[in-house]
Amino acid sequence: MILMRQIVPAAITNGTLCRVPAPILTQPEKEEDRSMIVVMQTGSSQADIDAVLERLKEYNLQGHLTIGAERTVVAVVGATIPPTLREELEYCNGVKETVRITQPYKLVSREVRPHDTIVDVRGIKVGGGSTVVIAGPCSVESEAQIMESARVVREAGASMLRGGAFKPRSSPYTFRGLGELGLQLLAQARDETGLPIVTEVMTPTDVELVARYADVLQIGARNMQNYQLLEEVGRTGMPVLLKRGLSATIEEWLLSAEYVIAQGNPNVILCERGIRTFETATRNTMDLNAVALAKRRTHLPVIVDPSHGTGKWYLVPPLALASIAAGADGLIMEVHPDPDRAKSDGGQSLNPENFAALMPKIAAVAAAVRG
Ligand code: PEP
Ligand code: MN
């Protein structure tokens, strides 16, 4: 690689605390230099960090700061990173080292943040060793139905209530949700039971409305790659439950989480909900590999939806337990007071008795695997 650089003393550089000015590049950047983090020395000053951020700005790159107990790191975010930047940054005061990130995602990566992210939903902690159970019907259908659902799931020990007001349905002729009325009913159920509510938002223009009622904004599988929606929920700063797309690779799923976090919103909960495969005996194929791998590659909490993952209520208990055994931080499950009469997904919804019977088993598996 050919590059021209003038070495000049720190005092007469461009005003930062870096000892070398930006080099003049004569060769395009290498593919492998696309991602990196800058690890600051313990005790580095704010001025040192600012100088690094300034230097990144010169290249139209952003630096996302993660201040940890043991180390402060700057994740470099932007389109392309000049190949010489690593070396340049290592000349800066307070920089311990630069580390290339091998994955295309950065802010979600454990390399950037080694410790688990804990998403706080009205005091309920998702991630970091606890097991959350989110339960409720597929759709909010009526006041009686959602109130009854909220009562039974709370009684059995669920920590949050789910229910769709805006439903993404494969057919336009099926029930597509109550819209804002559904949100109001969810808020009423929260008022009575104290359960935070998780509900789906389908379009960027609905985010403001749904955010007024919800505690967690759910991004459905069909919208996992709706990048404008991801950015819009990112801008709210609210907890986001990001379902994996029907045919999305793990990398694509994590890159979608990156979209949310890149807006300054670290409160992302990943949700594995089964993927499409050649198998037709079940609605989807539960990918528990993804749970264990996402836990390893990222610092985000990962929960599992065995209702959509299997499509059959009688497969939900075994797969719920398997998900916890695989390391999931919790579950989201469909529970309906009268599944036979449900307006959507009745066949995969547990009735209150089966849900109540499953809860102590979840606690037992969680205790066994967490030691
Ligand atoms: C749902 O949670 O009811 C739903 C539609 O889920 P998914 O987006 O995973 O299909
Ligand atoms: Mn559903």
Answer whether residue 108 is part of any domain: no
- CA distances 233 to 10, 66, 228, 236, 258, Å, are 43, 21, 9, 5, 12
Which residue is closest in CA terms to ligand 1's atom 1?
138
Q: Are residues 251 and 331 in the same domain?
A: yes
**Substitution candidate for ligand 1 out of 226, 276, 305 with most atoms within 8 A of CB:** 305
Q: Is 195 in the pocket of ligand 1 (CB under 6 A)?
A: no
CATH number at residue 74: 3.30.70.1140
By CB atoms closer than 10 A (0-12, 13-18, 19+), residue 178 is buried
- CA distances 224 to 4, 54, 150, 259, Å, are 44, 33, 27, 10
Q: Are residues 60 and 137 in the same domain?
A: no
Answer whether residue 112 is part of any domain: no
Single out the residue of 229, 227, 225, 175 nearest to residue 217, CA to CA. 229
Q: Are residues 136 and 280 in the same domain?
A: yes
* Domain final residue, candidates 70, 100, 130: 100
Q: Are residues 152 and 293 in the same domain?
A: yes
Q: Are residues 95 and 161 in the same domain?
A: no
Q: Supply the range of the domain harboring residue 310.
A: 119-370
Q: Are residues 191 and 147 in the same domain?
A: yes
**Substitution candidate for ligand 1 out of 202, 224, 273 with most atoms within 8 A of CB:** 273
Which stretches of the chain score pLDDT less than 50? Answer: 1-15, 24-29, 31-32
Q: What is the pLDDT of residues 184-213, one digit of tens each?
A: 999 999 999 999 999 999 999 999 999 999
Which residue is closest in CA terms to ligand 1's atom 8?
220
Q: Are residues 127 and 90 in the same domain?
A: no
Say if pTM beats, i.e. exceeds, 0.85.
Answer: yes
Q: Is 126 in the pocket of ligand 1 (CB under 6 A)?
A: no
Answer whether residue 30 is part of any domain: yes
What is the domain count for the chain?
Answer: 2
Q: Is 164 in the pocket of ligand 1 (CB under 6 A)?
A: yes
**Substitution candidate for ligand 1 out of 308, 331, 332, 335 with most atoms within 8 A of CB:** 308
Q: Are residues 95 and 28 in the same domain?
A: yes
Q: Are residues 42 and 127 in the same domain?
A: no
* Domain final residue, candidates 100, 133, 149: 100
Answer whether residue 253 is part of any domain: yes
Residue 34: predicted pLDDT: 66
Ligand 2 centroid to Cα of residue 261, in Å, is 26
Q: Are residues 271 and 338 in the same domain?
A: yes
Which residues, including other chains, have CB under 8 Å from residue 10's CB and lie 6 or more apart? 17, 18, 19
Answer whether residue 109 is part of any domain: no
Q: What is the pLDDT of residues 13-54, one digit of tens each?
A: 344 566 555 554 444 445 445 688 999 998 899 999 999 999
Q: Are residues 178 and 302 in the same domain?
A: yes
Residue 79: predicted pLDDT: 75
Which residues, including other chains, have CB under 8 Å from residue 29's CB and lie 6 or more apart? 80, 81, 82, 83
What number does the ligand 1 atom closest to the CA of 139 have? 3
Q: Is 220 in the pocket of ligand 1 (CB under 6 A)?
A: yes
By CB atoms closer than 10 A (0-12, 13-18, 19+), residue 165 is buried
- For 204, the 3-state DSSP assignment is helix
CATH number at residue 320: 3.20.20.70
Single out the residue of 323, 326, 321 nearest to residue 360, CA to CA. 321
Which residue is closest in CA terms to ligand 1's atom 4?
220
What number does the ligand 1 atom closest to the CA of 164 have? 3
Answer whether residue 309 is part of any domain: yes
Q: Are residues 59 and 127 in the same domain?
A: no
Q: Is 264 in the pocket of ligand 1 (CB under 6 A)?
A: no
Answer whether residue 64 is part of any domain: yes
Ligand 1 centroid to Cα of residue 107, in Å, is 26
Q: Is 273 in the pocket of ligand 1 (CB under 6 A)?
A: yes
CA distance 81 to 14: 20
Answer whether residue 105 is part of any domain: no
* Domain final residue, candidates 100, 127, 146: 100
